[in-house]
Amino acid sequence: MPEGVPAEPPRPLSPIRGAELRVMIVDDSVSVRHVLAAIAGRAGWTAIEARDGMEALDRLTGDGPRPDLILTDIEMPRMDGFELTAAIRSDPRLRDTPVVLITSRSGEKHRARAFDLGVNDYLVKPFQEPVLVELVNRLTRAAAAASAGHDPPVTASRPTT
């Protein structure tokens, strides 16, 4: 690129269906949902919000569009993030959808349980916006490649950070 010419800003990534990326945000905190929805908007994604795991599962198994990735808290009423992850991984229609737990629980016990249930990654609040954006982009690219038969399916692995 010639010197003095600004680099083109990154374009929103839509790796799965050639359309805008849909990210489901599952958290009982209105403020957390708003913060995550704002990040999604800045990244060019469509946010689908749910107040808890039960509402998320209803939306996931309903007739509406399915998300390309799910961001969920752990501690919520009716159905927590662990139960939601287990339900997603046991449903053949949903099992390949990347799931990221975003929580204030930083202990190894919660992290280990999350990975045992099949989450793709685990972020501890507070987190940096660029870290979340890169994580979503990486996981959705990997899921798109796996569904196209280019790479093995995305599997849960413990992050190095």
Residue by residue, pLDDT tens for the chain (161 residues) are: 444 444 433 333 334 433 489 999 999 999 999 999 999 999 999 999 999 999 999 999 999 889 999 999 999 999 999 999 999 999 999 999 999 999 999 999 999 999 999 999 999 999 999 999 999 999 999 888 887 765 544 444 454 44
- Domains of the chain, with CATH numbers? 22-146 (3.40.50.2300)
Q: What is the DSSP string of the chain?
A: --TTPPPPPPPPP-TTTSS--EEEEE-S-HHHHHHHHHHHHHHTPEEEEESSHHHHHHHHHSSSPPPSEEEE-S--SSS-HHHHHHHHHH-TTTTTS-EEEEES--SHHHHHHHHHHT-SEEEESS--HHHHHHHHHHHHHHHHHHHTTSSPPP-------
Side chain identity at 148, as an amino acid letter? A
Q: How far apart are the first and last CA of the chain?
A: 33
pTM recorded for the entire structure: 0.81
Q: What is the pLDDT of residue 1?
A: 40
